[in-house]
Structure 1
């Protein structure tokens, strides 16, 4: 798989990927005739995503983005933790004290959501905390800070796509039951793999209330 970055006169970056170098070159020529582009070479960094290649495969991470986030929040030297949340933690809309800076909470959750592009572990907790953007509590902000301390433990973790893998799709899914104390709705999560490569994942609250764990 070949990946490269192009930049046009309006400073917009474009990524081209494919396994046919001649076809990629044809596309570059057509784009250059219309927009006057500059070829920046093989893809290494794009919109906060870091791409590293080896004979074993491609590694995708957001290490620089994660470290910048830790520095902006003042947690670059914080004590890391090995877990995202305490066991049996449940977040409520009403049980707790309001957090004083709503805009700071929203900015932090927005930046954490972008990290879920490469750090699968964050999906459930960040998705849950994003439900309180309009009225965050101090417990919600404390949980977001714990996420940052978890990221500090390994800011370079990400996705690895091996060069040799079986050509087969595998999917795994699970759900809890009535995990949300406010709505009594369950949360569904799934992972989809192409061989050993994780290609799709999600954590989302269900739209209806399930009457049993089996129904969930």
Structure 2
């Protein structure tokens, strides 16, 4: 990705950023000319979400724009890579415990998707105190 010398970041996406397929000013945010690079990057980040649930939301949001990615989406994806560079040891850790309780937590934002005006739901599933999904 050419980010070896890039400065690591503490969060995967800027706060209050809303990604949309219909940006307010398309002239300032042109479509990316290299689709294959964006798609490869999102594919690799999607694979990482198996063990790095902290980037799942951002990667899912960026994967919605695979057909027509804009330069701002590519910058957001490279920001995730810089975040991963800053925290390489984070990930799912399974605790050795006798607790076999399954816990689930759900959160919903009603009508926050800019493209569909639908709700967005997030969840966390824990087994024995360890996050599994």
User: Quick check: TM above 0.5?
Assistant: yes
Question: What is the aligned counterpart of 1:89 among 4, 14, 17?
Answer: 17
Q: How does 1:61-80 map to 2 (within 5 A)?
A: 73-80=1-8
C-alpha displacement of 1:76: 2.2
Instruction: Find the aligned partners of 2:101 and 2:72 in 1 and give their Cα distance.
Output: 42
Instruction: Find the aligned partners of 1:117 and 1:77 in 2 and give their Cα distance.
Output: 26
Partner of 1:132: 65
Residue 111, structure 1, aligned to residue 39, structure 2: no
C-alpha displacement of 1:77: 2.4
Question: What is the aligned counterpart of 1:100 among 33, 38, 49?
Answer: 33
More strand, by proportion: 1
Question: What is the aligned counterpart of 2:110 among 166, 177, 187?
Answer: 177
* C-alpha RMSD of the superposition: 1.1
After superposition, the Cα gap between the structure-2 partners of 1:177 and 1:163, relative to the gap in structure 1 and judged at 3 Å, is same
C-alpha displacement of 1:99: 1.1
Question: Structure 1: 5+ residue runs without aligned partners?
Answer: 1-72, 201-216
The runs of at least 4 aligned residues of structure 1 exceeding 4 Å deviation read none
Instruction: Find the aligned partners of 1:165 and 1:151 in 2 and give their Cα distance.
Output: 32
Q: How does 1:125-204 map to 2 (within 5 A)?
A: 125-200=58-133
Partner of 1:204: none
Q: How many residues get paired?
A: 128
Question: Structure 2: 5+ residue runs without aligned partners?
Answer: 24-28
C-alpha displacement of 1:165: 4.0
Higher relative contact order (CA 8 A, sep 6+): 2
Residue 121, structure 1, aligned to residue 54, structure 2: yes
Instruction: Give the greater-gyration-radius structure (CA).
Output: 1
Partner of 2:26: none
